[in-house]
Each structure stands twice: as C-alpha cells, then as structure tokens.
Amino acid sequence: MIGRLNHVAIAVPDLEVACEQYRNALGATVGAPQDEPDHGVTVVFIELPNTKIELLYPLGENSPIQGFLDKNPAGGIHHICYEVEDINAARDRLEQSGARVLGSGEPKIGAHGKPVLFLHPKDFNGCLIELEQA
C-alpha cells in the first residue's frame, strides 16, 4: 500500500539557524519558508536526490509543533511521510486494521498541495506517520 518515502520532518526551535546549517554545513538546496496555517506550522523543504527533509517551525499559538518543542527543546524528528496512490482507500484499509487516523479522519491539503492524513504514533511503534496522496 505505501509507496516511496516522501520526506522526514524535523521540528526545529530556530528555523533560520536550521536552514543555514543545511545550506552551509551540508551544502543542501534549501527552499523558502512556507506558512501552512491549517496545520499550524511554517515549513521549509530541503531537496535531496532521493527524498526531502521538511523543517517544521511553530506557526501561531496553537501549533502542535510548539508542544513537541516544549518536550524536546533542541528539536528532533517529528514524523515520516509515505506516499499512497489513493488516500481514502489507504485510510479505510488502515481503519479496518485497527489503526487510528488523527483528526476528523478526512484528508487535509498538505504543504505540497496534496491530500494528507496522520496516523497515531501508538499504532506505529511510536512514530507519527503522514500519508500523502501521490
């Protein structure tokens, strides 16, 4: 059911510093900051030959990333994102297997302009999983 790894998301306490680290220390191609108000984050994508890194920074007072950073002040891996062909079919299959879809269960539009869903980390070995329709 899952396809390729779309990205690994890292929550960061200082977006500008993190971008400079990837740009200067690692020589990566770093995109422009992009506000995602529906998800409460500002994101920056770092392009790699085989996938992307997504830097996450809190946007607004109710950002879910702020809670993560409160527990992990230095930041850290927040989630991994896999592509799926049909997000609704994937959701239905996962729910039938007992996996919990976070939120309303209806896909939202993500940072790439495609439908996304998140799966409860307790159902996936402590890892928050994002599914994005390919």
CA 84 to chain centroid = 15
Tokens of 98: 């007992």
Inter-residue long-range contacts of 36-39, CB under 8 Å, 24+ positions, other chains counted: 36/110, 36/111, 38/108, 38/109, 39/64, 39/108, 39/110, 39/111
130 counts as catalytic: yes
Which among 54, 85, 106, 130 is annotated as catalytic?
A: 130
Residues marked active site are found at 130
